[in-house]
């Protein structure tokens, strides 16, 4: 009888070991995010199950991801290949932990600018600027890193 219990536990141990290995590996295959590199946009598209369309802006490239639920996420890429801004709009919020990447903790911990409400939030930090608004079935926002803006690109032209 103890042998049967041990045999039943082995697949569970193997599954646990696999889960631990995946958790250790997943952060290394993170999708493109604010401050990240353009080469991982495809991982972002796959994670969101989105369609991808690329267009050219004045001094930057825009990768537009549209999810099956109708949310659009745009990643603004500098000529250096760095994602310097992201924007979103649609009926559902994107995964901001994924979209903001390493800047998510700054976003989460930053004080909101005066005038922010439950439906409108503004963050003005030297390393991150965020404007976000939303209510049921409509969310929109933009986040950018001021130091990563390409020369000659104004935050006002990012939509």
Classified as helix, coil or strand, 80 is coil
Span 34-43, pLDDT tens digits = 998 887 777 7
Both tokens assigned to 64: 């537009």
CA-based max dimension of the chain: 74
**Which domain does 6 fall in, by range?**
1-30
Span 56-79, pLDDT tens digits = 988 899 999 999 999 999 999 999
Residues found in the chain: 159
pTM: 0.76
> CB–CB of 36/104 below 8 Å?
no
Same domain, 25 and 46: no
Same domain, 69 and 20: no
Total domains, the chain: 2
């Amino acid at each position: 009888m103890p042998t049967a219990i041990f045999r039943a536990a082995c697949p569970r141990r193997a599954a646990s070991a696999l889960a631990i290995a995946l958790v250790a590996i997943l952060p290394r295959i993170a999708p493109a995010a604010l401050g990240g590199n353009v080469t991982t946009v495809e991982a972002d598209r796959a994670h969101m199950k989105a369609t991808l369309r690329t267009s050219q802006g004045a001094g930057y490239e825009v990768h537009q991801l549209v999810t099956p639920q109708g949310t659009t996420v745009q990643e603004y890429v500098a000529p250096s290949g760095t994602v310097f801004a992201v924007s979103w709009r649609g009926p559902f919020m994107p995964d901001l932990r994924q979209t903001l990447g390493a800047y998510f903790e700054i976003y989460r911990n930053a004080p909101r600018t005066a005038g922010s409400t439950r439906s409108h939030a503004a963050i003005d930090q030297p390393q991150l600027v965020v404007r976000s608004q939303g209510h049921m079935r409509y969310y929109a926002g933009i986040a950018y890193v001021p130091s990563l803006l390409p020369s000659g690109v104004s935050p006002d032209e990012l939509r």
